[in-house]
Amino acid sequence: MERALREIGAARYHDKHPFHILMREGRLTEGQLQAWALNRYYYQSRVPLKDAALMARMVDPALRRVWSRRVLDHDGKAEGEGGLARWLLLCERLGLAREDVVAERGILPATRFAVDAYIDFVRSRSLLEAIASSLTELFSPGIMRERLGTMLAQYDVIDEQALSYFTVRLDQAPADADFALDYVKRHATTPDLRQAVCDALLFKTDVLWAQADALQHAYVEPGLPPPGAFRPEA
């Protein structure tokens, strides 16, 4: 099953998406990066809700204890700490107004639909499928490392502090992914369950890909932001 999961990542993780290829090659404009950071904020802001929804289904305190670290990693122990605060810092460095981002102004409807579908999946599917849907983190260190290099080199407004979200996640994501992978390997004890695990990961790659599609359509090609969506300054 692990091989099947890794094949799904190799074929369908969003590092293959044209929008992320442009980012990796340093070919996005600052306006396009702003649109990415703003929309990704919506995803980031909902990840702890997704993890809390998962915890709300875990009857085993030991499992909740492990999973609660994810919420803590995002929220931090105090105001201004945690992954979400670090993402807001990146948004500000890219020139977005913090209050606009937090108010979720101008976020693409397609971003909301994809992210909300992810939360709904975690709430309504089996605990095994819900945990399996987090397995995209198996593939995230690669894309994060590439972004770090490119963004530091290509964009004057970005320094190492602005990218602290990624440097910290590079520490956290592998441990999170290893735990989830170990969990699904131990609990997917029949062919049907193993298929359900793979389907959950496929679903999650769709969630990420749909967000990249929406950014590409609105801000790159053809570049037609829908009514009410963020528009970069010319």
Residue 106 near residue 100 (C-beta atoms within 8 A): yes
Give the residue, chosen from 22, 48, 125, 151, that forms a contact with a copy of itself under the rule CB under 8 A: 48
Residue 224 near residue 218 (C-beta atoms within 8 A): yes
Of 154, 133, 171, whose CA–CA distance to 30 is shortest? 154
Measured from the CB atom, the residue of 23 and 122 that comes closer to a copy of itself is: 122
Residue 72: CB minimum distance to a copy of itself, A:
7
Q: What Å distances lie between residue 73 and 61, 67, 131, CA to CA?
A: 19, 10, 17
Residue 107 CB partners (closer than 8 Å, separation 6+): 38, 39, 41, 42, 229, 230
Two tokens, residue 215: 């950014």
User: Does 168 engage in binding with a copy of itself (CB under 8 A)?
Assistant: no
User: Does 52 engage in binding with a copy of itself (CB under 8 A)?
Assistant: yes
User: Does 59 engage in binding with a copy of itself (CB under 8 A)?
Assistant: yes
User: Does 68 engage in binding with a copy of itself (CB under 8 A)?
Assistant: yes
Measured from the CB atom, the residue of 62 and 224 that comes closer to a copy of itself is: 62
As a whole number of angstroms, the distance between CA 185 and CA 197 comes to 9
Give the residue, chosen from 1, 16, 30, 58, that forms a contact with a copy of itself under the rule CB under 8 A: 58
Residue 184 near residue 94 (C-beta atoms within 8 A): no
User: Does 153 engage in binding with a copy of itself (CB under 8 A)?
Assistant: no
Give the footprint of a copy of itself on residues 113-142 (CB under 8 A). Answer: 123
Measured from the CB atom, the residue of 103 and 152 that comes closer to a copy of itself is: 103
User: Does 78 engage in binding with a copy of itself (CB under 8 A)?
Assistant: yes
**Residue whose pair of structure tokens reads 């801000």 in the numeric block:** 219
Two tokens, residue 222: 């053809």
Measured from the CB atom, the residue of 61 and 222 that comes closer to a copy of itself is: 61
Size of the residue set binding a copy of itself (CB under 8 A) = 28
SS3 of residue 126 by DSSP: coil
DSSP E strands: which ranges in the chain?
none
Contact set with a copy of itself (CB under 8 A): 45, 48-50, 52-53, 55-59, 61-62, 64-65, 68, 71-72, 74-79, 82, 84-85, 123
